[in-house]
């Protein structure tokens, strides 16, 4: 006789019923958690309870909402710049996530750290099983199990960042990354949208132009003579890279906002903020005794700060030192899209009813455009020492922290309207108790 399915935790059922509008309009930065203390000022207060870490269920749900797999994307249905019979080749991935990503790049992952350790998701290249992975609350346990399977441990304990300058902003000394809290840190590889957008724009004939040195980015004259590029249609390097940074910032910010919305539905405290130095979190100060998360950094006298390029073995940017040179990085990028097992390999699953036919029709990069992109990438790396030239290879800047709310603080200074019914019921719903 088959075993009966395990009963669904009561929190999941309540979560499925929580209205989106309540999450949107009830969202607040509720920074004061159990075990915290404000030492002075008009809101001075010391929690009467010990810190209470999030449960594994709570933490996994927040990972899932921030960066989980939602199903397949629809790709980009058409572009006028493609060959008449070709499909749009802009998206790097067709795996949908809970956040949007410009041109379907989806190059970010989510780091989570608490008293039990630090982990990074490995979800961006996992193929979904369905067009929509979540149909009702009964799908949540399967999705959570998937998220847990694709977590890689980075450190044995919480990432240690001193509550002092230059590591943490002064207004966050008292509460950021404290015992009992869980910190969510989305990180995005900007080398992928950089290469992707170069292929898009150069495929349309634009010629990358170094706005600082007032010259084309490399020896592009042969491509201009061939008609591959149009010298009159310049792509300014600074503007181009600022748009890449903006797209990455959007991706990580929406990840954080997803988590913040779920905090309301679950009845957890927390907030979205930027008050921890991302270089400290990632590990730029390791030699000064602040190891961070173990990212690899490169240093160069041409830069004002070290450049993070990834975590060896699990989150590596498309640039040296993970590739011998930029030519090799470009080849690897092209293979990720069009090589065997790549996104547009007809033998790999996809969202379409006739995925093999649609994928086979997606336009491949023209050989002359690949060579031209290699020339630009090589120029940028030789001139500036890194790719991209003016923004980090890996970007992190915004975080969401979650913790159990100390309602006593909010009752004392704000009143009962400062939190939602889910906060009142949280301990009973999620922890089987009635404690505050």
> Average of pLDDT values for 343-361?
96
Q: Of 204, 117, 167, which is closest to residue 281 (Cα–Cα)?
A: 167
Q: How confident is the model at residue 436 (pLDDT cuts 50, 70, 90)?
A: very low
**Contact call for residues 275 and 168 (beta carbons, < 8 A):** yes
> Average of pLDDT values for 252-261?
98
pLDDT value for 401: 98
Structure tokens at 76: 């980009």
**Contact call for residues 291 and 425 (beta carbons, < 8 A):** no
- For residue range 132-186, what is the model confidence (pLDDT) as tens digits? 998 888 888 899 899 999 999 999 999 999 999 999 999 999 999 999 999 999 9
pLDDT value for 1: 42
Structure tokens at 38: 């404000």
Strand order across the beta sheet in which 230-236 lies: 215-216, 206-210, 230-236
Q: Of 183, 115, 113, which is closest to residue 153 (Cα–Cα)?
A: 113
Neighbours of 418 (CB within 10 A): 16
- CA-CA distance, 77 to 57, in Å (whole number)? 37
Burial of 24 (0-12, 13-18, 19+ CB in 10 A): exposed
Please check the confidence at residue 2 and state whether its pLDDT lies above 60.
no
Structure tokens at 74: 């629809």
> Average of pLDDT values for 41-47?
98
Structure tokens at 418: 């400062």
Please check the confidence at residue 222 and state whether its pLDDT lies above 50.
yes
3-state secondary structure 270-321: EEEECCECHHHHHCCCHHHCCCCCCCEEECCCCCCCCEEEEECCCEECCCCC
pLDDT value for 82: 85
3-state secondary structure 239-254: HHHHHHHHHHHHHHHH
> Average of pLDDT values for 313-322?
97
- For residue range 404-424, what is the model confidence (pLDDT) as tens digits? 999 999 999 999 899 999 999
CA 281 to chain centre: 15
Identify the CATH class of 10-431.
Answer: alpha beta
- CA-CA distance, 390 to 207, in Å (whole number)? 18
pLDDT value for 6: 60
**Contact call for residues 430 and 220 (beta carbons, < 8 A):** no
Residue 96 phi/psi, 5-degree rounding, is -75, 145
Domain spans, the chain: 10-431
Question: Is the Cα dihedral 341, 344, 346, 350 positive or negative?
Answer: positive
- For residue range 107-129, what is the model confidence (pLDDT) as tens digits? 999 999 999 999 999 999 999 99
**Predicted structure pTM score:** 0.95
Tell me the average pLDDT of the chain: 95
Q: How confident is the model at residue 3 (pLDDT cuts 50, 70, 90)?
A: low
């Amino acid at each position: 006789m088959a075993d009966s399915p395990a009963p669904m935790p009561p929190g999941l059922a309540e979560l499925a019923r929580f209205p989106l509008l309540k999450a949107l309009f009830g969202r607040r930065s509720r920074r004061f958690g159990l075990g915290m203390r404000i030492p002075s000022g008009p809101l001075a207060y010391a929690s009467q309870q010990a810190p209470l870490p999030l449960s594994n269920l709570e933490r996994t749900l927040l990972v899932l909402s921030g960066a989980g797999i939602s199903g397949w994307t629809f790709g980009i249905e058409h572009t006028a710049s493609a060959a008449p019979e070709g499909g749009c080749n802009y998206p790097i991935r067709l795996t949908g996530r809970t956040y949007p990503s410009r041109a379907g790049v989806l190059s970010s992952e989510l780091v989570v750290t608490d008293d039990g350790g630090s982990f990074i998701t490995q979800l961006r290249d996992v193929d979904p099983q369905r067009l929509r992975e979540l149909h009702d609350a009964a799908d949540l346990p399967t999705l959570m199990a998937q998220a847990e399977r694709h977590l890689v441990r980075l450190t044995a304990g919480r990432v240690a960042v001193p509550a002092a300058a230059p590591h943490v902003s002064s207004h966050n000394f008292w509460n950021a990354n404290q015992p009992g809290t869980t910190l969510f840190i989305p990180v995005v590889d900007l080398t992928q949208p950089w290469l992707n957008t170069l292929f898009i724009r150069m495929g349309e004939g634009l010629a990358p132009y170094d706005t600082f040195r007032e010259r084309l980015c490399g020896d592009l004259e042969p491509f201009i003579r061939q008609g591959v590029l149009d010298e009159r249609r310049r792509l300014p390097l600074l503007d181009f890279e600022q748009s890449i940074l903006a797209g990455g910032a959007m991706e990580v910010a929406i990840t954080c906002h997803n988590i913040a919305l779920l905090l309301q539905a679950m009845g957890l405290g927390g907030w979205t903020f930027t008050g921890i130095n991302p270089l400290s979190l990632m590990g730029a100060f390791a030699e000064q005794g602040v190891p961070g998360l173990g990212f690899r950094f490169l240093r160069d006298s041409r830069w004002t700060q070290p450049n993070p390029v990834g975590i060896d073995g699990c989150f590596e940017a498309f640039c040296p030192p993970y590739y011998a040179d930029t030519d090799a990085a470009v080849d690897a990028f092209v293979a990720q899209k069009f090589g065997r097992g790549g996104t547009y390999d007809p033998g790999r699953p996809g969202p379409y009813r006739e995925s093999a036919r649609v994928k086979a029709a997606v336009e491949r990069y023209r050989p002359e455009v690949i060579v031209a992109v290699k020339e630009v990438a090589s120029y940028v790396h030789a001139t500036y020492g890194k790719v991209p030239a003016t923004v980090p290879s890996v970007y992190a800047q915004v975080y969401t922290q979650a913790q159990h709310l100390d309602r006593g603080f909010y009752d004392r200074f704000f009143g009962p309207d400062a939190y939602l019914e889910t906060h009142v019921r949280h301990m009973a719903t999620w922890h089987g108790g009635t404690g505050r």
